[in-house]
Structure 1
Amino acid sequence: MQYDYLVVGSGLYGSTFAYEAAKRGKRVKVIDKREHIGGNIYTEEIEGIQVHKYGAHIFHSNCKDIWDYINQFAEFNRYTNSPIANYKGEIYNLPFNMNTFNQLWGTITPDEALRKIAGQRAAAKIESPQNLEEQAISLVGLDIYEKLVKGYTEKQWGRKAAELPAFIFKRIPVRFTYDNNYFNDRYQGIPIGGYTQIIEKMLSSELINVELNQDFFVNKATYLEEYPKIVYTGMIDQLFDYRYGELEYRSLRFESVTLDRQNYQGNAVVNYTDAETSYTRIIEHKHFEFGEQPKTIITREYPKAWKKGDEPYYPLNDDCNNEKYRKYRGLAEELPNIMLGGRLGMYKYFDMHQVIAAALSLVKEEFR
C-alpha cells in the first residue's frame, strides 16, 4: 500500500493527526518503538484497576471545543485533581490555598493569610525574581517554599531551585479560597476505562496501519526516502543525529506494587516534598475512578537524569537548551516533508489538551 503519511509515535499528538488524516481519506502508517500504542497516556488494566503506566494523567481544559473533541472517544468521570503534600509526615493540601495556610499558620481568613505571606515577602526583599527560588518566595513566602516547594522541585529537576527558571513556578496556582482543586480549568476528568481506548478508537480506521516495536532510527533512511510526508513526535535532537549536542531532559523511574488491601493512602496523588524521600510522589491508581476493588496498586515516581536510552519525559527549557532547540528547529524547516509535534518534537512542556490543540493546528494547516 502507498501511504500519504508516516506518523512516528502513537501518542496523543500522532494519533490525533492520524485520525484526522484518515477522516480526509489519507492513508497513514503509524509506527511506535514501544510494544503498545498510546505513548505516555497508555493505561493498562490490572486487578480491575486502570493503571497509568507512565505517571498520573488528568485531563483538563478551559476550551469547550477540545473537551468535546476528546469526549467523542470516551466517557469522562467527574474526577477533580486534589493532590496532597506529605512533608516529613505533615499533610498539606495542594495547590496552595486557604486550607494549606491554615495547616501551616492557623490562619482563618484570606486577610490573615495575605498578611502572613506579605510579611515573609517583605523580609526576603526580592524585587525582581530571577529564578524559581526567588519567584516562589516572592509569591508564597519562605515557609511554603521551604516545606512544599524546594525539596520536591529540586528532586524533580535535579538542580538547585536557584538555578531553575522562574516560569516553572508560575504554573502552580495560589488561591485565597478553601478550594483544593488543583486546576482552574472549567473541564476536568478521567476517561472511564482508561486512556488506551481513546487511542484505539483514533487508530481504528482501515486507512491507518499501526506497527509496534518499530524504531524509526533503525530504518531512518528508508522511511525518509519512501514516505512523502512524515509527522515526527520523537526527540528533535536525535532526528538530526545530535548535531548541535544533546538537549537536556528529565527522566523518571516507576516502581509499581500491588497491595492486598483496599486503600493505601486515601488519595490518587500524594507528593513527598522533603528532600530526604527519594521519590517525588505516590500514585494510587484506583482513586482516579473512585474504585472499590479489594486490592490496590500504587506507583512511586523517582526522577532521574536523562541519558541516551532512557525515556525523556520533561524538557529542560532553560536559555541554553532553548537556543540549541532553535538551531534544530532551523534544520527541520529545511525539510518540507518533516512535520514536528508533541513534547519531544517541539521541545516544550505540554498538557494533554495542549497536545490535541497543537495536533489540530497542524491538521488545519496541512489540509486547509
Structure 2
Amino acid sequence: MREPEYDFLIVGAGLYGAVFAHEAHKKGKKCLVIDKREHLGGNTYCEDVDGINIHKYGAHIFHTNDKFIWDYVNSFVPFNRYTNSPLANYKGELYNLPFNMNTFRQLWGISTPDEAKAIIAEQTKEYKDKIPSNLEEQALSLVGKDIYEKLIKGYTEKQWGRKATELPAFIIKRLPLRFTYDNNYFNDDHQGIPVGGYNKLTEGLLEGIECRTNVDFFKDRKKLESLAKQVVFTGKIDEYFDYRHGKLEYRSLHFEHTTLDQDNYQGNAVVNYTEASIPYTRIIEHKHFEFGKQKASVITKEYPLEASSDNEPYYPINDAKNTDLFNTYKKMAEQETTTIFGGRLAEYRYYDMHQVIGAALAKTRKLLP
C-alpha cells in the first residue's frame, strides 16, 4: 500500500483547522486543508463591499484575557482598539448594554448605585427563595421584571425559537450587573478587530499550506481519508458518524445584507432589537468595527431560525436530550484512532474565538511536543 501523501487532512478551514494546520506545518508536517465552502476562514470570513469588511456570518469581536493568545493573533495581523458597546432597542427606546448604571438611569431615571440596587432587590425578592424551573424564573430572580421584560424576554425567545418558560434555567446561569457607568460589553484585558478584516488572520495562519475549497469531505470520503495519515475533523460530529443515533439540534441564523447610500445608519456597530414583534435580533453596521470613513454603509439584519440541511448550524442546543446524544457520539469519537475531533461542531459546544484557538494550540502541543 502506498504511503499517504500528507500527515494531516484537515476538514474545515475555520479557526480550529487553520491554527492546527499552522502549528503542524511549523513542526514540519505536511497538511492539506479542505473546506466545502468557496472560501477559507469559516464563520470569520469577511467579504469586501465598497471597501468595508463585511462579517458575512455575523459579528465577530475578538476578546481574551490570555496575553499569549492575544500576542499570537497579533503576530499575523495587528488588531485595532475596537471596544464592543452594543445598544438595545426596545420599542424605539435605546438602552446601553451590558446592564450598567447607564442602563439603570435609562430605565428608572436614577443616578446612584444604591438606588439601582434597591430597585433590583425589590423586584427580585419574591424569587430569591425559589429554585428556578425555567429561564424566565432564573432571569426574574437575577434582575427583576423591568430588565427581563424589556431587554431579555423577547430577544431570548427569538434567539432560541422557544418560550422563555420552556427553556432551561441554566442557559443564563448569571446576568452580570455593573454598578458603574461602563458600556464595555467584555471584561477581558484585550479586545479588537483585525486591521483589514479576519481574512488577514486566516491568510497568515495558512500561508504556505495547501488548501482546497469547494471540497465536500462526505462526497469523496474514502479517497480523501486515504491521502493522509490522520484526519482533523472540525465538522458536525453526528454527520461524521452518519447520524447513526440521530441528529444533534442547533439554532441557525439568516443574514440579510443591505448596502446603503449613506455614511452612517445607526451610529454603532451592534444594536439589539429586544421586542418580540421584530423578527430579527440585531442589526450590525460593519464599518464601525474598523472606524470606517466610507461614503456608503452596509448593514446586516440577523434572523434566528432552526438549523436544517439548508442552512448553517451555529448554536448547539445543550439541553439534556442533546447532551446525552452528544455524549454517545463522543464515546464513538474516542474509539477513532486516526481522526482528531475539534471545534464547535465536532465538540458540540459554543466557543468564543480565543477558546477555539486555545483548544487547537493545546491539541497540537499534545500531539506534536
Task: Quickly name the TM-score band, shorter chain normalised.
Answer: over 0.9
Q: CA deviation at 1:310?
A: 1.6
Q: How does 1:74-113 map to 2 (within 5 A)?
A: 74-113=77-116
Q: How does 1:1-368 map to 2 (within 5 A)?
A: 2-124=5-127, 127-170=130-173, 172-205=175-208, 208-368=209-369
Kindly indicate whether the alpha-carbon contact (under 8 Å) linking 2:5 and 2:227 is maintained by their aligned counterparts in 1.
no
Kindly indicate whether the alpha-carbon contact (under 8 Å) linking 1:126 and 1:134 is maintained by their aligned counterparts in 2.
no
Q: CA deviation at 1:167?
A: 3.3
Identity among equivalent pairs (%): 61
Kindly indicate whether the alpha-carbon contact (under 8 Å) linking 1:231 and 1:340 is maintained by their aligned counterparts in 2.
yes
Give distance in 1, aligned partners of 2:280 and 2:129. Answer: 31
Using structure 1 for the length normalisation, give the TM-score: 0.97
1:177 is matched by which residue type in structure 2? T
Q: CA 1:171–1:258 in structure 2 vs 1: closer, same or farther (change >3 Å)?
A: farther
2:368 is matched by which residue type in structure 1? F
Using structure 2 for the length normalisation, give the TM-score: 0.97
2:9 is matched by which residue type in structure 1? L
Kindly indicate whether the alpha-carbon contact (under 8 Å) linking 1:7 and 1:18 is maintained by their aligned counterparts in 2.
yes
1:73 is matched by which residue type in structure 2? F
Give distance in 2, aligned partners of 1:248 and 1:83. Answer: 28
2:339 is matched by which residue type in structure 1? I
Q: CA deviation at 1:258?
A: 0.4
2:265 is matched by which residue type in structure 1? Y
Residue correspondences, number: 366
Kindly indicate whether the alpha-carbon contact (under 8 Å) linking 2:77 and 2:204 is maintained by their aligned counterparts in 1.
no
What residue ranges of structure 1 are gaps of 5+ in the alignment? none
Q: CA 1:227–1:68 in structure 2 vs 1: closer, same or farther (change >3 Å)?
A: same
Q: CA deviation at 1:221?
A: 2.3
Give distance in 2, aligned partners of 1:14 and 1:312. Answer: 17
Give distance in 2, aligned partners of 1:166 and 1:320. Answer: 15
Give distance in 1, aligned partners of 2:105 and 2:133. Answer: 29
Q: CA 1:171–1:72 in structure 2 vs 1: closer, same or farther (change >3 Å)?
A: farther
Further displaced range: 126-135 or 4-13: 126-135
What residue ranges of structure 2 are gaps of 5+ in the alignment? none
1:75 is matched by which residue type in structure 2? P
Q: CA deviation at 1:163?
A: 2.3
1:91 is matched by which residue type in structure 2? L
Q: CA deviation at 1:117?
A: 0.5
Q: CA 1:284–1:172 in structure 2 vs 1: closer, same or farther (change >3 Å)?
A: farther
Give distance in 2, aligned partners of 1:78 and 1:196. Answer: 18
**1:135-170 deviation per Cα after TM superposition (whole angstroms, max 9, x unaligned):** 211111111001100100010011111222333324
Q: CA deviation at 1:49?
A: 0.7
Give the 3-state SS of the residue equivalent to 1:68 in structure 2. Answer: helix
Q: CA deviation at 1:196?
A: 0.6
Further displaced range: 168-177 or 82-91: 168-177
1:155 is matched by which residue type in structure 2? K
Kindly indicate whether the alpha-carbon contact (under 8 Å) linking 1:173 and 1:182 is maintained by their aligned counterparts in 2.
no
Q: CA deviation at 1:365?
A: 1.2
Q: CA deviation at 1:171?
A: 6.3
